[in-house]
Structure 1
Amino acid sequence: MIRLVYVSLATKPLEEKELLQLLGTCRSNNTEQGITGQMIYTEGTFMQVLEGPQAAVDATFARIKKDTRHHNITLIERVNIDERQFSEWSMGFKSLTREQMQDIEGFNYHLEDDVKGKAGPYANQLFVSELMKFVKNQYVSEMSREVLTLKRNDKSLMGYLNNMVRYIVMALAVLMAFVVLCGVVLIAIELYATLRDSPQTLLSISGITSTFASFLAVLIAIDIFINISLYVRQHVIAVRLVVATALMAVARKIIVLDFAGIEPIQVLAMAAIVAALGFSYYFLSRLKSDQVVEHD
């Protein structure tokens, strides 16, 4: 997988309708090819980043270079990557005027040159990369604030229900934090009592197993708390973390299980559960780093 960044100059100033038409074509083609990225248009200058399978990105860039709507195409960056920066967008887009660029702290000094006749500061790799990140982060931040404001100001029945659920989840977070605290205190008391009365017990198989199981129980509670806090702050459920928590819970059960009293078929069933959860976690991890399906 690679990331490719280029800048170019529009052959003629593009109207909003033309830009939207271009954006629609880009998004359609990129979705088919498993490509993600972002485009910025400012004062007749295009800046675009493409991420995805090497063959697909190179083929797309070759097609872009033949487009007569722009010229002076300058390749800024082409690097191998393990993770996408713009995995959420088939093609994010932002149109900026010269005045808007001047309002962006740290970028206004680059506008002293006339970009109509040359790529100018936009050919600077660091400048383009940082501007892309800034626009992306600004968009995500604005969307988060807008969604949160809309939810809090929603006076409909669903709005009240959503707020009620939010407060319930916050209460669960407080209770789960209390559970974690109690778990840590109980482990500390148990370890202190064991070290005081029979420290050699900690070195036995049963002692190690019991201590390990206690630690895992607290870690499971912490994972659940993190899931709850993520839901409160971002209104999302971290599926990968849920799977990891389930895997840890099953592993803890297996660790403390007395295998002398169970049937072989039960052992095979537990092994199948662990394998399924492990594969799910691996698949979700790969999906996180490459959320768009790659096509050969």
Structure 2
Amino acid sequence: MSIMEWVFFLSTLCTVLSTFCYAGTYPKAQNVSWFSINFKTLLMWDPKPVDYSYTVEYSIIGQNRERNPHCIRSVNTECDLSNSLVDLKATYSADILSEPPYGVNSDLVEFPHTRSDQFTPYTDTLIGRPNFKIKVSEDEKKITLNVEDPPTALFNQNEPKTIRDVFGDDLQYKVTFGKATSTGKKTKIFSSSQIELEGRDIDPGVSYCFNVQAYIPTRSPDKRLGEPSQRQCSPSNDTSIFDEYGIGVIAGFILLVVTLVVVTIVVAVVCCKRKSKADKGKEGVPLKPV
């Protein structure tokens, strides 16, 4: 064998061996998990790749696997599958393959891979906190909460769908409320996004504080409730003296009263001392003879 043939042979052998060794040391993805809120669904894992890449394959259980074009030989450790999981009530699984980076070939038939847990968007996505506005009727006998259904990451003709568009009648709202001046709480469930409280639920003219959560009774118990809203309170006509006049005015009035009291005491003491001296002076003057 000539020198050139040996060089070619050794070069080819080194390439094959390096490719095999390089491919064989790709670490598998770890800590694979789904994170989904309002149908914004990410598949996440570790570690950050060095000299290799990740490809995500997903499918409905029992069907052929597909690839998201943004998650092929990627150096990212997450893949946004929000628009890929079209059938929201289907159950999916995913595989994360450890592959060579772009431009590097490999003779491996099967790459190291890690399978995710199963995930069903309709029953597993978390529901974010809703916003709401409070309206008190003129006679103060009814409080209305107008809840804004949280938007999702899904679209219909370029318009974002709300959770009401997805869940329909399955969506309800849990309202926790109580008087602003009390620690007692009540809880009620409503099927509408417009919530009305009156009668035995509230006392007219009293301030009430509210928290609202999405509630989906068709789910498993640990996933029925969404994230609670921020606490909001209704106005009240039972205004305190501080609300009526302000702390500055009240402080000024108190200072004036204290000043008057002090001045009065000082004047009284001075007058008493003068009167006492006058009385002593009269005692030292001899009586005039008759």
Band the TM-score falls in, shorter-chain normalisation: under 0.3
TM-score (structure 1 length as normaliser): 0.23
- State the structure with more CA Rg: 2
Which structure shows the bigger proportion of residues in helix conformation? 1
TM-score (structure 2 length as normaliser): 0.23
